[in-house]
Amino acid sequence: MISFYPGPSKVYEEIPRYVKDAHTLGILSMNHRSEAFMRLCEKTIRLLKKKIDIPKSYSVFFTCSSTECWEIIAQSLIQRESIHLFNGAFGKKWFDYTKRLRPEAQAFPFNREDVLMPRSYASGEVIAITQNETSNGTAVNCTIIKKIKELNPDNLIAVDATSSMGGIHLDFTSADVWFASVQKCFGLPAGLGILICSPRAMEKAAQLDEQNHYNSLTFLRKNMEQWQTPYTPNVLAIYLLMRTLQQVAPIEKINRKLIKRAQRWYKFFAPSKKIRALIKNQDVRSNSVITVEGQSQLLDSAKTKATKKGLLLGEGYGDLKKETFRIANFPALKKKEIQKLEAYLSKYR
């Protein structure tokens, strides 16, 4: 089965070999306070910074998931207020989780066909932006995020890049906090999150010095000074990340490949067709998640028959469950696999 699900998604073909190596090398029972783990952690973070172009001055932490990162930000970087700019289910979920911990969180929803307009906000310590909204296949350009940062110099900008990091070339200088989990563009099994913080974010964390949770940023930072984590981490996942990072091309190259493939998909699903791109505005279309809309019975039958042919399409998400399906455009997918899906979908256009 070839999975086009936008997470958990197809893993790199080399993964079984790397897992076998991990077993042979004793990684599966490695002590997370050992010298060997500290070296693995340091090496993985160094490679990650190099391969996806993270500024040297930024700090990188391992978490369990992106959902955990939502909570870490609410706990350790927001005292009272945050501003949430979103146009879909994941941004909304981030807002909902934050609101439970920080009731003064404010929502600023926008239409999914609209370009997010940079403006200044009167309050809010953190401005939360979902860079790639996996539920509907829209994306916010980093130049817009940068503008929002410039217009709100007193706020920290936090960005959910769960379904773009590792595939799209992100300008990390345009925001203070970034996070993702590895089961999307990184082409790995689920169970590891990556949290990236600018020096400004770390300053704010030090000021607040919040220590009420096992995953408080204060503890993450203290442990990471020794290339460690506050709890026993997913050592296998860190090892697999290290191995795949060694193998993948630099992000500029991956980014170019994904954009080319995305353009091909959007042309394939032109507006005149029976199944067509959900997002009409080219300026807000995601390059890593393609959402396709059509009459629900047609989509249903297309999905079922696809599964029989060994092609797993991503279900629509949330409100869009019935009238859409999603196609991951992630780096681990091979050209011939995409061609197979294209050939299959041709008859539905």
- Binding test (CB under 6 A) with ligand PLP, winner from 3, 7, 248, 286: 7
Buried b (16+ CB within 10 A) or exposed e, 133-166: bbbbbbbbebebbbbbbeebeebbbbbbbbbbbb
Contact window for ligand PLP (CB under 6 A) among 117-125, 158-166, 212-220, 230-238: 158-166
- Would you give the binding string for ligand PLP spanning residues 108-137, x where CB under 6 A is met? ----------------------x---x---
287 contributes a contact to ligand PLP by CB under 6 A? no
Q: How far apart are CA 162 and CA 132, in angstroms?
A: 7
Q: Are 33 and 160 in contact (CB under 8 A)?
A: no
Residue closer to ligand PLP, measured from CB, 5 or 29: 5
Contact window for ligand PLP (CB under 6 A) among 113-121, 159-167, 211-219, 247-255: 159-167
**DSSP for 307-344?**
HHTTEEPEEP-GGGTTTEEEEE--TTS-HHHHHHHHHH
The two three-digit tokens of residue 151, written as one number:
């217009």
178 contributes a contact to ligand PLP by CB under 6 A? no
Buried b (16+ CB within 10 A) or exposed e, 55-84: eeebbbbbbbbbbebbbbbbbbbbeebbbb
- Would you give the binding string for ligand PLP spanning residues 55-84, x where CB under 6 A is met? ----------xxx-----------------
Q: What is the DSSP letter of 51?
A: H
CB of 193 to ligand PLP, least distance (A): 6
Residue closer to ligand PLP, measured from CB, 44 or 134: 134
CB of 334 to ligand PLP, least distance (A): 22
Residue closer to ligand PLP, measured from CB, 10 or 207: 10
- Binding test (CB under 6 A) with ligand PLP, winner from 59, 98, 162, 324: 162
255 contributes a contact to ligand PLP by CB under 6 A? no
CB of 336 to ligand PLP, least distance (A): 26
Q: How far apart are CA 264 and CA 216, in angstroms?
A: 43
Q: How far apart are CA 145 and CA 306, in angstroms?
A: 37
Q: How far apart are CA 154 and CA 133, in angstroms?
A: 25
Interface of this chain with ligand PLP, residues 299 to 338, rule: CB under 6 A = none
- What is the Cα 256 distance to its own chain's centre? 18
The contact set with ligand PLP (CB under 6 A) reads: 7, 65-67, 90, 130, 134, 160, 162-163, 181
